[in-house]
Amino acid sequence: MGRLFGTDGVRGVANADLTAELALGLSVAAAHVLAEAGTFEGHRPVAVVGRDPRASGEFLESAVVAGLASAGVDVLRVGVLPTPAVAYLTGALGADLGVMLSASHNPMPDNGIKFFARGGHKLADELEDRIEQTYRSHSSGEPWERPTGDGVGRVTVYDEGFDNYVAHLVGVLPNRLDGLKIVIDGAHGAAARVSPEAFARAGADIITIGTDPDGLNINDGCGSTHLRLLREAVVEHGADLGVAHDGDADRCLAVDGEGNEIDGDQILAVLALGMREAAGLRKNTVVATVMSNLGFKLAMEREGIEFVQTAVGDRYVLEEMKAHGYALGGEQSGHVIVLDHATTGDGTLTGLMLAARVAATGRSLKDLAGVMERLPQILINVPDVDKSRVASAPTLTAAVAEAEQELGATGRVLLRPSGTEPLVRVMVEAADIDQARAIAERLADAVKSALG
């Protein structure tokens, strides 16, 4: 059996890979590990538990709640809320642990479990490893030490979470959104209620799509992974911009008034300039990953803003930000972290801040996003290969070196093993898209030959 925890919690097909038994066992293990680490010392522990609207989230949430309560943890059930809302409430309510049931942008049959530590931050790798080891040792027969009587956890429905979170979002905005017409695509997910409410309270005239979840339609042809409906709606309604979330709303992508996609790199660029203008861009630095478009790096250099790169994954962006005191970071996929106001990527907050920048400047989103020019980028996923040998296959190393020499300073090459699937991602950027495609296809063939 492989490692349970990936780069973003435990994820798999609900009721096949991710069962009720696994959800319950991991929750009990998490409670024991955190207790041993001293997190619960001197008080009765409390956990915040939320989920996205997937049908499987109903039984998985029950399993998680049962596991935590059986381990002596009091549980506040906040219901269907975005992942960043659970993170925020974990911190705001002084809880010892947060748990989110969601598979983010994955299709409906999948689900996942994500744990947050006290303060609303993602658990450290070391704690995830200990939770997994503890779960495995007990699932093989070692009995749990269980409280009885008044030592068992109590379960409470916490209905105030929605209003508390929305009030927080609107309260941190630098200015209102009055006069803007905005289309919101909630991906039939966790932001279906939150995002429209927050934008409306901030003063925007809103049109909504993808805001009628039924447990089965999450991410289905809508949201940040399928922008066609949003582009069409923005143009049809003559909106100033549109924002799209993924299933758990920790991402945001946007569409300008002409229907052009604005990706995470462009959003970061717009926010970086706005935060610098407001003296909020600490150390004049923005953090992004190695998957960021080269055009973003060039734009930041031109604007005199420092650019720090990390491995792919918003957790690595966050680690770099926390370690060095940076205020802004994110990914091309739309995970944007504004550390003064959130402990994780927050799609609704990102959309609100982007819209606030449009309102404050009186400039169109297309104009603002024009600060960077996206270089053509080709991404090819090569499946069914031994991804563990990407860095050690000599013929592949030679092929990459040849491609880099051909591109020179006008492009770049990245080969990256997927953190969640048995495949290697081949990414090539170049000033000319035909050149990028030709080199990417050549490298994909090299990957198949060397690692197949």
For the stretch 312-338, pLDDT in tens is 888 899 999 999 999 999 999 999 999
392 band by pLDDT with thresholds 50, 70 and 90: confident
pLDDT at 423: 87
pLDDT at 5: 87
Q: Give residue-wise pLDDT tens across range 409-426.
A: 778 899 988 876 778 999
pLDDT at residue 208 is higher than 60: yes
The model's pTM is 0.91
pLDDT at 131: 96
Of 159, 189, 219, the residue that ends a domain is 159
Annotated binding site for Mg(2+): 104, 246, 248, 250
2 band by pLDDT with thresholds 50, 70 and 90: low
* CA separation for the pair 96, 46 (Å, rounded): 6
Same-domain status, 198 and 227: yes
Same-domain status, 153 and 172: no
Same-domain status, 255 and 343: yes
24 band by pLDDT with thresholds 50, 70 and 90: very high
Same-domain status, 147 and 171: no
- Going by C-beta distance under 8 Å and a sequence separation of 6 or more, which residues neighbour residue 262? 241, 253, 254, 255, 256, 354, 365, 369
Same-domain status, 272 and 241: yes
What average pLDDT does the chain have? 94
Q: Give residue-wise pLDDT tens across range 148-175.
A: 999 999 999 999 999 999 999 999 999 9
pLDDT at residue 395 is higher than 70: yes
Same-domain status, 315 and 341: yes
* CA separation for the pair 423, 52 (Å, rounded): 28
Same-domain status, 362 and 387: no
Of 132, 159, 186, the residue that ends a domain is 159
Same-domain status, 171 and 150: no
Domain of 396, in residue numbers: 377-451
Please check whether residue 299 is in contact with residue 372, taking contact to mean a CB–CB distance below 8 angstroms: yes
pLDDT at 431: 87
Same-domain status, 262 and 324: yes
Q: Position of tokens 């909106």?
A: 239
- Write the CATH number for 9: 3.40.120.10
Percent of the chain with pLDDT over 70: 99
Which residues are known catalytic residues?
104
pLDDT at 291: 87
* CA separation for the pair 283, 452 (Å, rounded): 45
Same-domain status, 337 and 386: no
Same-domain status, 115 and 259: no
* CA separation for the pair 313, 408 (Å, rounded): 27
Average pLDDT over residues 212-232: 97
Same-domain status, 152 and 266: no
Please check whether residue 70 is in contact with residue 62, taking contact to mean a CB–CB distance below 8 angstroms: no
Percent of the chain with pLDDT over 90: 84
pLDDT at residue 382 is higher than 70: yes
Please name which of 229, 361, 390, 372 lies closest in space to residue 295, comparing C-alpha atoms. Answer: 372
pLDDT at residue 135 is higher than 60: yes
Domain count, the chain: 3
pLDDT at residue 1 is higher than 60: no
Average pLDDT over residues 11-36: 96
Q: What is the dihedral of CA 163, 166, 172, 174, to 10 degrees?
A: -130
pLDDT at residue 94 is higher than 90: yes
Annotated binding site: 104, 246, 248, 250
Of 369, 393, 415, the residue that ends a domain is 369
pLDDT at residue 201 is higher than 90: yes
Q: Give residue-wise pLDDT tens across range 48-64.
A: 999 999 999 999 999 99
Average pLDDT over residues 195-223: 98
- Write the CATH number for 441: 3.30.310.50
